[in-house]
A and B are shown apart, each in its own frame.
Chain A
Amino acid sequence: MTAGAPVVDFRGVRYEVGGRAVLRGLDLSVAAGETLVLLGRSGSGKTTALKLVNALLLPTAGEVLVDGRSTRDWDVIELRRRIGYVIQETGLFPHLSVARNVSVVPELEGWTAERIAARVDELLRSVGLPPDVFRGRRPRELSGGQRQRVGVARALAADPEILLFDEPFGALDPVTRLELQKQFLALRRTVRKTALFVTHDVREALALGTRIALLHDGRVEALAAPQQFLESTSDEARTFLACLDWKLSA
């Protein structure tokens, strides 16, 4: 593991909803600059874990530390402004243009108009959308892949320290998905941020993660870099890895 204090630290985190435990004692440290993939089936608690980082949810027991401070002690507004959040449904604001969508957080942070305009163009270019074409478009005028690119640009806008991705490419067709995964890797090389990436796709986890945390029944079942993950002996990991070999037999 990388040296230095973890940027995000789950300590004995338990989360219950309606008497059902979604997370049962989650311990996990995310180091500065790494992309930690949370891999798991539906209901394994990976999305819940992500929402505990930006305090959309608070743990029932245990704590989540961000920069050494518990999410309970953070001013939530301040905490969320330094965390970018990308979700599968994108959650773009339908009444705002692409440019205005991207500038939401800089506007909230009181940037000047010139600085915002320059930043919007820079970001649109970095996610592969020519600014002159896309600046003024509305979300409904975009394809799924373009919307997701705008979502990524919006999350990066105010240069947050941490990025959270909740199956961002899950609803895209395979060709577009591959394109965005490649773009993600390219972006990772230039933008060094701490990222948590939720997916149920083992292929995506292996391709994008610097480390993979396999969640099963609300706990970390395996934690390893992609190369080591391939050799993991845990049952759940073998089940996921079996998906890689699966072929349609005639």
Chain B
Amino acid sequence: MRSSLLHDVLAMTGEHVVLVLIALGTAAAIGIPGGVWLSRAARLRGPLLGVVNVIQTVPSLALFGFLIPIPYVGGIGKRTAVVALVLYALLPILRNTLTGLLSVEPAVLESATAMGMTDAQRLFRVELPLATRTILAGLRVAAVTTIGTATIAAAIGGGGLGVFIFRGVASVDAGLILAGAVPAALLALLADGGLGWLEKRLSPV
């Protein structure tokens, strides 16, 4: 009995991690290039950040609910969960990429241009290296919140550690709730520490 619970916890933790990694990877794949693009499109910046901000304010359980009836992205299951988690993780990544790029000193940018760098050279040799720390900080915030929010994904059949929590709440079993909550908290701490360490390691200045 005990060993089978431990086995279940490990399996669900694995599922949880996969869910979070897919969501974070997708959010980064959209958010970082999106931030680069917004840093060059001053006019779209306000409206687009507004939309992403509004998504962030929708309570997570409601967002999962809203997504269910939408064709292709919706339904019951992991896909819907990933879509919702990506929408949440997007804001910190997008905003921090943009902030990091916009905070590069104008004199540094002018020098890069005046030295005959192409736009791409300037981006990859100067702007992104100088924004790395801020971008990583955004990833860290996104990782910690996604690990937490992903527990709610169980409500729509997303699986992961939330399964224990919902089951524990339904059967008023504190032990079962802890079986989901403790590993989730540990994952969040691990992600926070790991990415924080990376942030300091990779800090260029």
* Chain A interfacial positions (CB closer than 8 Å to B): 54, 56, 76-81, 83, 85, 87, 89-95, 104-105, 108, 138, 140, 154
Assuming the A-B contacts A91-B108, A140-B205, are A56 and B115 also in contact, with contact meaning beta carbons closer than 8 angstroms in the complex?
no
Contact A94 B130 (CB under 8 A): yes
Contact B116 A108, beta carbon cutoff 8 Å? yes
List, in ascending order, chain B residues with CB within 8 A of A104's CB: 115, 117, 125
A-B contact pairs, 11 of them (CB 8 A): A56-B113, A77-B117, A78-B116, A80-B116, A85-B115, A90-B107, A90-B111, A91-B108, A92-B111, A93-B108, A95-B130
Interfacial chain A residues near B205, Cβ < 8 Å: 94-95, 138, 140
User: Which residues does chain B contribute within 8 Å of A93, judged by CB atoms?
Assistant: 108, 111-112, 126
Which residues of the partner chain A approach B125 to less than 8 Å between Cβ atoms?
104
* B114 pairs with A54, CB closer than 8 A: yes
Would you give the shortest CB distance from B106 to chain A, in whole angstroms?
Answer: 8
Are B116 and A91 in contact, CB atoms less than 8 angstroms apart?
Answer: no
Residues from chain B with Cβ under 8 Å of A83 in the complex: 114
In the complex, how many angstroms separate the beta carbon of B121 from the nearest chain A beta carbon? 7
A54 to B114, CA, bound (A): 7
Say whether chain B's binding surface is mostly helix, strand, loop, or mixed: helix
Give CA–CA (A104, B116) in the complex, Å.
Answer: 10
Given contacts A87-B111, A95-B126, A108-B116, 4 further A-B contacts (CB under 8 A): A56-B110, A56-B113, A93-B111, A104-B117
- In the complex, which residues of chain B have a beta carbon less than 8 angstroms from the beta carbon of A90? 107, 111
The reply to whether A108 and B110 form a contact with Cβ atoms under 8 Å apart is no
Smallest beta-carbon distance A240→chain B, Å: 27
- CB pair B115–A81 under 8 Å, yes or no, is yes
A218 to B170 CA separation, bound complex (whole angstroms): 79
Interface contact B204-A108, CB-CB below 8 Å: no
Instruction: Give which listed residue, A89, A95, A108, A140, contacts B115 with CB less than 8 A.
Output: A108
Q: Tell me which of A77, A93, A94, A105 has the highest count of chain B C-beta atoms within 10 A of its own C-beta.
A: A93
Bound-state Cα–Cα, A105 to B111, Å: 11
Q: How far is the CB of B125 from chain A (nearest CB, A)?
A: 8
B118 within 8 A of A: yes
Give the nearest-CB partner of A83 in chain B: B114
Give the distance to chain A from B205, nearest Cβ to Cβ, in Å: 5
Contact: B108 with A105, CB < 8 Å? Answer: no
**In the complex the two chains form, what is the Cα distance from A93 to B124 in whole Å?**
13
In the A-B complex, the 4 residue pairs with the smallest Cβ-Cβ separation, listed nearest first, are: A91-B111, A95-B204, A80-B116, A89-B107
- Contact present for B114 and A94 (CB under 8 Å): no
Contacts of B113 in A (CB 8 A): 56, 80
Inter-chain CA distance A73–B7, complex, in Å, is: 71
CB atoms of B116 and A87 under 8 A apart = no
Contacts of A140 in B (CB 8 A): 205
Residues of A within 8 A of B114 (CB): 54, 56, 80, 83, 85
Do A91 and B105 touch (CB < 8 A)? yes
Give the chain A neighbours of B112 by CB distance below 8 A: 91, 93
B192-205 interface mask toward A, CB cutoff 8 Å, 1 = contact, 0 = none?
A: 00000000000011
Measured between beta carbons, the chain A residues less than 8 angstroms from B117 are: 77, 104, 108
Which residues of B lie under 8 Å from residue A95 when comparing CB positions? Answer: 126, 129-130, 204-205
